[in-house]
Amino acid sequence: MQFPAAQIALIVKGKIEGDPNTTVNSFGKIEEAKEGQLSFLANPKYEDYLYSTKASVIIVNENFEAKQPVNATLIRVPDAYTAFATLLSKYQEIKQQQLSGIQQPVFIAPTATYGQNVFIGAFAYLGENVVVGNNTKIYPNVYVGDNVTLGENSILHPGVKIYHDCKVGNNVIIHAGTVIGSDGFGFAPQADGSFIKVPQIGNVVIEDNVEIGSNTTIDRATIGSTLIKSGAKLDNLIQIAHNVEVGNSTVIAAQAGISGSTKIGNGVMIGGQAGLAGHLHVADGSKINAQAGLGKSLKTPNTAVTGSPAYEYNKAIRSQSMARNLPELEKRVKELETIIKQLLAERVV
């Protein structure tokens, strides 16, 4: 597929500097792009590559001032990184639109229904009363259990498993190997030390515009719903326990774990390998640093915490700074002790 610079500028609402008829057919990093490729410059530390790259079209920030002549056609936009992401999305959308139809072999229950322009890959399984919206793509080896609803324009990558009764909204992307709706970790301790399983009869509800990375697990609720709200972005290898709520536009990095019934607000950022205890409330806009262990609720919006147990970020940084100075402080204390001993000895004399 060939795309002229003029068409690209129209998509990203940019201004062309150079030949509007320059065409590209793929993307490349600015340091290694070839002729016929589109690249971008957002980070100033890569500016030197702008003058040597072979990329044909480059997206730059509108306030960028070149220090040397540039051979490529430039497209100036308010935010080069966002514009480039928009183009990648459009490119991916075009490729996805080319996928349609039902491969064989598949199993589709007689009561399952699906909309227009869907793709169902080989060895997929759609259970009873499954509903699949228009333009949704189900890749090979996907399991969709009974009574599951999949919205429009969603993508289930290979090996995704969605258990019964769960609901997935529109424009949702779920990457390979992810499990939605497995049982929550619920066991009642008995007097003899054994455990009795507590049946998990709820479901998982994933709202619109959510993306979930590979090999993430989201447990169904004991009663009610585990809820991932609109715009949330989950990385790979995350554990979301039963009855958790993840707020709108919250982002969670890889290997984080959220214990049962914790409620996470809107616009929260959770770093990699962070762990949250159960039944907590995390206020809107909170930031939980990587490897933090959160054991109590964050009630004040926009609070940043770090460490394990987690505590307020600025205080943690000051504490770390003081800890680094402990050897010097110890030295000074010993010197003061020596001086005090000398003074006391002089007084005795």
Q: Which CATH class is domain 3-97?
A: alpha beta
pLDDT at 342: 87
pLDDT digits (tens, 9 = 90+) for 243-295: 999 999 999 999 999 999 999 999 999 999 999 999 999 999 999 999 999 99
pLDDT tier at 156 (50, 70, 90 boundaries)? very high
Q: Which of 164, 242, 279, 281 is catalytic?
A: 242
pLDDT at 309: 83
Q: Is 157 a catalytic residue?
A: no
Q: Confirm whether pTM is higher than 0.95.
A: no
pLDDT tier at 203 (50, 70, 90 boundaries)? very high
Measure the CA–CA gap between 27 and 49, rounded to whole angstroms: 15
Measure the CA–CA gap between 82 and 53, rounded to whole angstroms: 21
The arithmetic mean of pLDDT across residues 82-104, rounded, is 87
Superfamily of 101-314 according to CATH: Hexapeptide repeat proteins (2.160.10.10)
Sheet containing strand 263-264, edge to edge, reads 113-114, 131-132, 149-150, 167-168, 203-206, 225-228, 245-246, 263-264, 281-282
Measure the CA–CA gap between 303 and 269, rounded to whole angstroms: 10
pLDDT digits (tens, 9 = 90+) for 26-53: 999 999 999 999 999 999 999 999 999 9
Across the chain, what does the average pLDDT equal? 94
